[in-house]
Structure 1
Amino acid sequence: MRCLIFETIATVSLLTCSMMAFGQDNKSQPIAIRDAPKLPDYIEKPADASGIFAIYGSNGVPPGSEKWALHEQTSHTPGDKMVRNVVIPTVTVFRPEEGTANGTALVIAPGGAFHVLMMDNEGYTMARWATKLGMTAFVLKYRVQHTPADDAEWQKFAAKTFSELPKVSMGEIYPPMSHPGAEEARLWGEEDARQAIRFIRQHAKDFSIDPHKIGTMGFSAGGGISVNAGLRSDSLSRPDFIGAIYAGYRIVSPVPQNVPPLFIAIANDDKSVAPISSARLFEDWHKLGQSVELHIFSSGSHGFGTKHQNKLSDQWMDLFKNWLSYQGFLSGAINK
């Protein structure tokens, strides 16, 4: 099996997290889910989010993580926000303007080499874009590999770990292999992505979304968990569409027949995920006769996300919008 790790990191500061849920005022009405306790105020809350919710039941701790002695940490880096040491997986909800909702839910998984989550470029900014199209967006914080809590130790760890990340050659056809710790974290992330879809589908009425129009997309590591969550899912956790943006997915064979529609985008000059791996993913869907669209841009590098770089990859969001519209996810009544 193969996997991914990629993206660079900066300094972090400690922020303790909890496992409950909160709603807050913004341009949309706050969301209330019955029996969801309010999260502590020290959890960072985007001003325009409608709520943050733990996706697992009880106290929000996933099975197998009950003894983790960690706390979620957040830092503000130049041009982005970074989260690491996630213990309680959550979704941060962004809703469209009143009267513009089309019932589609989009789960967004940021990347970060399974060590961190890049929350702005590959998370919140994407969510705000999605709401302008009438979608309700859910930014997923999934479990990542454990890293030192102390800032000084973290910086040493990050410098060593990320300097050792593999760089792909143009001839490679799969995403790069990961080390064992990140391989394990990838499996956590896949299950958190499936659980996020289950949670949203179970609470479709609370979120005012169509339970048959729930898609997932992600960038880099997040793209990998989005693809693999869709490849290994049950009826409750199956996404209705997938977006794989420079995704470092795990090879699954055989690919199931009933895969959801898939949109793929990557840059040909990506040095962290082999561009041909996206073509292989396209091939898997194409051979099954399933809906798939692929864009390989001549320029853009790895991690272009929602940034505008005056490169050809800048147009991917417009193409994704067109694809979503063609698939019927940007219009229509909610089918409850």
Structure 2
Amino acid sequence: MVRRVHMTRGWLAMAAFGAMGVAGTGTAGADALEGASEVVKLWAQGAPDAKGTDPAKDVPTLSVFLPKPDVATGAAVVVCPGGGYGGLAIDHEGKQVAEWLNSIGVATFVLKYRLAPAYREPAMLHDVNRAIRVVRQGAARWGVDPGRIGLLGFSAGGHLASTGGTHFDAGKADAEDPIDRVSSRPDRLILVYPVIAMATPYTHQGSNRNLLGEHPSEDLLKFYSNEQQVTPETPPTFLAHTNEDSAVPPENSLLFALGLRKAKVPLELHVFEKGQHGLGLGSGSKEHKIAPNPAFQSWPKLCEVWLKGQGFLDKKALQSP
């Protein structure tokens, strides 16, 4: 059974990296993230409900980072940088994360999704669902196992990742577009200081407002309160947060973990004592005035151990899409 799809961090600068290719035929270009082999448009003919054709805001893309062949495992992860649904922390929650994942043999696809104020829901949900489909449908091209595609998100990007992990479908077998024929369900979730709850005292108001607007309905708040949307089909999940996070309190991760436990979904949760919001890999960010945090630097290794225990990093014969 699969779920239905319903079609602040103000200091984060919005970083736009343009779309230089189309799904299946992307090419590297001047606007690609440094180190990316190509940038792929999620929709070759334009995103649904796009309000224009500006690459910076109207064209959702994936920047592709492939590991060296001698370390490649066949696993892949789509990365959703944070930014309160109004910007993208594209370096320390995007490019740096891709470099880490590549180092452990994981193909990485950094998602540039549509943002407020130009867009609100369901554009972001459409983008993350489509991103998983694009990677799965193009798996053979990138040397990816279509049964090992994870979704990783930070802060508001963590909310988007948790949305992708609770609001997905199996694809439409008779769709004209072959990408729409495959499942949008991620195989694993990795949520790092994620925004989760949309109708509690722990809600990140900036993300809530940018995603849902000024006066969202109760139904919309519930739909995007992803701790309430967990089912046994939600993917196994790794969560990392800090106890000191005042921007997005750790209750967000705790509530999602409780939902996972109730649904009997495998999970691993780490709440570190010290550390501000927005730490990325824990190595800090000069751009955002975030100091390194040695304790939080351990979460990527803990996550790697978890992924290995899940069999996600095993080198094996690739499945057919």
TM-score interval, smaller chain: 0.7 to 0.9
Report deviation, 1:113: 0.8
Moved more, 310-319 or 269-278: 310-319
| Structure 2 gap segments, 5+ residues each | 1-7, 171-182, 197-223, 284-291
Classify the secondary structure of the residue corresponding to 1:140. Answer: strand
Residue 50 (structure 1) aligned with residue 31 (structure 2): no
In the alignment, which of 233, 237, 250 is matched to residue 184 of structure 2? 237
Q: Percent identity?
A: 31
For residues 116 and 289 of structure 1, the distance between their equivalents in structure 2, rounded to whole angstroms, comes to 34
In the alignment, which of 176, 193, 209 is matched to residue 144 of structure 2? 209
The one-letter code of the counterpart of 2:106 is: M
Classify the secondary structure of the residue corresponding to 1:231. Answer: coil
| Structure 1 gap segments, 5+ residues each | 23-32, 73-85, 148-183
Deviation track 1:79-137 (CA, whole Å, cap 9, x = no partner) reads: xxxxxxx2111111111112221110100000011111111100010001101111100
Q: Please state which structure has a larger fraction of its residues in strand.
A: 1
Q: Does the CA-based 8 Å contact 1:95-1:131 persist in structure 2?
A: yes
Q: Does the CA-based 8 Å contact 2:19-2:39 persist in structure 1?
A: no
Q: Which residue number in structure 2 is paired with residue 175 of structure 1? A: none
Q: 1:98 to 1:16 in 2, by over 3 A?
A: closer
Report deviation, 1:18: 4.4
For residues 14 and 107 of structure 2, the distance between their equivalents in structure 1, rounded to whole angstroms, comes to 31
Q: Which residue number in structure 1 is paired with residue 158 of structure 2? A: 223
Q: Does the CA-based 8 Å contact 2:22-2:44 persist in structure 1?
A: no
Q: Which residue number in structure 2 is paired with residue 265 of structure 1? A: 240
In the alignment, which of 184, 188, 192 is matched to residue 127 of structure 2? 192
Regions of 4+ moved over 4 Å:
none
Relative to the length of structure 2, the TM-score reads: 0.76
Q: Which residue number in structure 1 is paired with residue 225 of structure 2? A: 251
Report deviation, 1:219: 0.4
Residue 276 (structure 1) aligned with residue 251 (structure 2): yes
Moved more, 275-284 or 310-319: 310-319
Moved more, 324-333 or 238-247: 324-333
Q: Which residue number in structure 2 is paired with residue 315 of structure 1? A: 298
Deviation track 1:22-78 (CA, whole Å, cap 9, x = no partner) reads: 9xxxxxxxxxx3xx3657x5x4223422211001132xx21111x336451xxxxxx
Report deviation, 1:262: 0.4
Q: Which residue number in structure 1 is paired with residue 21 of structure 2? A: 20
Q: Does the CA-based 8 Å contact 1:300-1:311 persist in structure 2?
A: no
Q: Does the CA-based 8 Å contact 1:282-1:292 persist in structure 2?
A: yes
For residues 100 and 311 of structure 1, the distance between their equivalents in structure 2, rounded to whole angstroms, comes to 26
In the alignment, which of 25, 40, 47 is matched to residue 62 of structure 1? 47
Classify the secondary structure of the residue corresponding to 2:74. Answer: coil
For residues 75 and 256 of structure 2, the distance between their equivalents in structure 1, rounded to whole angstroms, comes to 24
Task: Give aligned pairs, total.
Answer: 264
Q: Which residue number in structure 2 is paired with residue 9 of structure 1? A: 12
Q: Does the CA-based 8 Å contact 2:22-2:42 persist in structure 1?
A: no
